Amino acid sequence: MPESKVKKAFCATLDFNIAKKIFVESTFIRALPGFSIVGMANQSIQESRDRIKSALLGIGFKFPSQKITINLSPSDIKKEGGHFDLVIALLIAFQKTSSTCRDFYIFGELGLDGKVKSTSAIFPILLSLARKYKNISVLLPNDMLEKASQIKGIKIYGVATLFEAMEFFQEKRYELPYKQIETKEFFDKKIEINKKEYFYDVDFSLDFKDVKGHKFLKRALCISAAGMHNLLLEGSPGCGKSMSIKRLRYILPPVSIEEVLESQAYKSINQEDENLSAKRAFRAPHHSSSRPSIFGGGSSRAMAGEAALAHNGILFFDELPHFSKQILESLREPLENHKVLISRVNTKIEYDTKFLFAAAQNPCPCGNLFSKVRECRCSDLEIARYKSRISDPILDRIDLYILVDEDFSKENTASSKEMFEDILKAFIFQKSRGQDELNANLSEKDINKFCILQEDAKYMLDKAISRYGLNQRSVSKILKISRTIADIDQSETIQKEHLLEALNYRKR
């Protein structure tokens, strides 16, 4: 068969959360009329044949008395998704012409009337392709242009129908000077630090002003948010633990566009397609959730779990001791290395899980151990069993432990707006000194560089190490918390009072 009779174009498929480049080829051969798609295409692609036929007939295309064969290469990669429709239809339409799809990546699902629609898989594919290849050209459905235009390093063109896509290549519109898509302003507020933009939202739908009293608790939550430090709240039922953590999301630090896109990509993989937002993720799975639902999994296709969906945001475990032992112990890797590895017979996939882990628990099974007005009904053995459900290695990965008392005060303490102002100042202070990560995620090298102690603070830390028998992880966490407290106070070095306050949040 002459090489010229084979038309080629590019598309891509998701191999879990990684995009794989797919070469799409078409040819017409002398045989009984038919239409086949080969190359390990799943049912969603096989069903596209009827959509493609209807769309092509709608623009006046006449199918020849030949067999149409579409090949998706490499043939050893499983392909799925309706976004292959457009590229296949274009190759068929151009088979008898000199038109070509050039070196474009083409995505879009076709309606029966020829309209080009977006799918949830396209956005994570684009984000992954942009990381692997530079200056690629992409043809997309029009309704994806605003969101996709936030991804740097790709040239984006949009079409509304199959006919418009054909005209795009036939008239060689790609040879015109490229005009950047006018990006929609998805974010209310932004700041620029060291020539990099960060975005934040000032919509405090759940406000800390609703939490009366609890001055100490709000101070601890402010520190947690400013440095993205893990925290555990312990207190009687109804004292405000869950209420406070649900409001923590609204005062978290600003995000970069890369963090926004990463979070959106995980949501798209799980068919949770939303508009881009500067509000960080908040995931609160129930304690009866299965291990795969928390950490990801699946027999044929590994889906992102709650840990991945909480990336760059908050993962909240309410009633922490009621989660299964297997789930709690599986938290070690994502809390320490900020990654989850899912292993299957045929493949392995890794998800980033850099989140703030927030947890709440009662002090005993009945919850009244610390109550001033209710009597605890639990025996010492029941309390010991309840506490033992959380192992020391997990507790060792918690930065801030806060004992929440029953505060019956009606005092109006800090609101979310006031707390966020302190957090924003601390964020600017951190980023201005050249930190890539927020304080909770500093490496040992960065700790030595940024966590500079005054002499009296060094002496106090040495005393704490010998008195409390602190291990290396505990020392690192205390230094990072101290650094965050110093940032809130706009202090270049960690002073004695900063270290003492950080020690006060240590689990005893």
Residue 345: pLDDT band by 50, 70, 90 thresholds? low
CA distance 107 to 85: 8
Mean pLDDT of 338-343: 84
What amino acid is encoded at 8 in this protein? K
Query: Radius of gyration over alpha carbons of the chain, in Å?
Result: 28
Q: How many CB atoms lie within 10 A of CB 62?
A: 8
415 φ/ψ sector (left φ>0, alpha ψ -120 to 50, else beta):
beta
> Quick check: bond before 74 cis, omega within 30?
yes
Confidence tier at 103 by pLDDT (50, 70, 90): confident
What's the longest Cα–Cα distance across the chain?
89
User: What mean pLDDT, rounded, does the chain reach?
Assistant: 90
pLDDT at 118: 93
pLDDT of residue 227: 96
Residue 244 identity: S
Specify whether domain 192-438 bears CATH 3.30.420.40.
Answer: no
CB 399, CB 224: distance < 8 Å: yes
Asked whether 420 and 201 are in contact (CB, 8 A), the reply is no
The residue ranges of every structural domain in the chain are 3-175, 192-438, 442-508
Q: What does the pLDDT read at residue 76?
A: 87
Q: How far apart are the first and last CA of the chain?
A: 77
pLDDT by residue (tens digit) across 185-230?
667 788 999 999 999 998 899 999 999 889 999 999 999 999 999 9
Give the H/E segment covering residue 336: helix 332-337
Q: Of 92, 126, 130, 131, which Cα lies nearest the Cα of 107? A: 126
442-508: in CATH 3.60.10.10: no
3-class DSSP state for residue 255? strand
Is 275's pLDDT higher than 90? no
Grade residue 331 by pLDDT with cuts at 50, 70 and 90. very high
pLDDT digits (tens, 9 = 90+) for 52-70: 999 999 999 999 899 999 9
The dihedral over CA atoms of 259, 483, 234, 294, expressed in degrees to the nearest 10, equals 30
Average pLDDT over residues 363-386: 92
Express as a percent the part of the chain with pLDDT over 70: 96
Q: What is the DSSP track for 347-384?
A: -EEEEE---EEEEEE-SSSSS-TT-SSS-----HHHHH
Average pLDDT over residues 150-178: 90
Indicate if the pLDDT at residue 299 is higher than 70. no
Instruction: Determine the pLDDT at residue 146.
Output: 85
Give every CB contact of residue 256 below 8 A, 6+ residues apart in sequence. Answer: 196, 197, 198, 199
What letters, b where the CB count within 10 A reaches 16 and e where it falls short, cover 358-387? Answer: bbbbbbbbbbbbbbeeeebebeeeebeebe
Answer with the residue of higher pLDDT: 2 or 42.
42
CB 277 within 8 A of CB 254: no
Q: Tell me, what's the pLDDT at 182?
A: 63
Beta strand pairing call for 189-193 and 196-200: antiparallel
Weakest-pLDDT range from 169-173, 301-305, 338-342, 504-508: 301-305
Residues 6+ apart with CB under 8 A from 39: 70, 71, 72, 73, 74, 75, 79
Q: Vertex 123, ends 134 and 19: CA angle to 5°?
A: 60
Q: Token digits for 182?
A: 């006018």
Q: Quote the pLDDT of residue 2.
A: 43
DSSP string, 74-124: STTS-B--GGGHHHHHHHHHTTTSS---TTEEE--EEPTTSBEE--TTHHH
- Taking residues 135-142, report their average pLDDT: 93
At 218-272, the pLDDT tens digits run 999 999 999 999 999 999 998 999 999 999 999 999 999 899 988 888 888 777 7
CA distance 36 to 498: 69
Helix H or strand E encompassing 316 = strand 314-318
Those residues whose C-beta lies under 8 Å from the C-beta of residue 71, and which sit 6 or more positions away, are 24, 25, 26, 27, 38, 39
Both structure tokens of 152: 């740097």
Measured distance CA(118)–CA(379) in Å, rounded: 59
pLDDT number for residue 3: 41
Which tokens is 224 given?
């947690």
pLDDT band at 152 (very low <50, low <70, confident <90, very high): confident
The pLDDT of residue 373: 86
Domain 3-175 grouped into CATH 3.30.565.10: no
Query: Residue 98 above 60 pLDDT?
Result: yes
Tell me the average pLDDT across 425-433. Answer: 95
Would the pLDDT of 80 be above 60? yes
Mean pLDDT, residues 444-454: 94
Buried b / exposed e over 434-467, threshold 16 CB at 10 Å, is ebeebbbebeeebbeebbebbeebeebbeebeee
Quote the CA–CA distance of 457 and 475 in Å, as a whole number: 13
Q: What is the predicted pLDDT for the residue at 200?
A: 93
Q: Provide mean pLDDT across the span 141-147.
A: 90
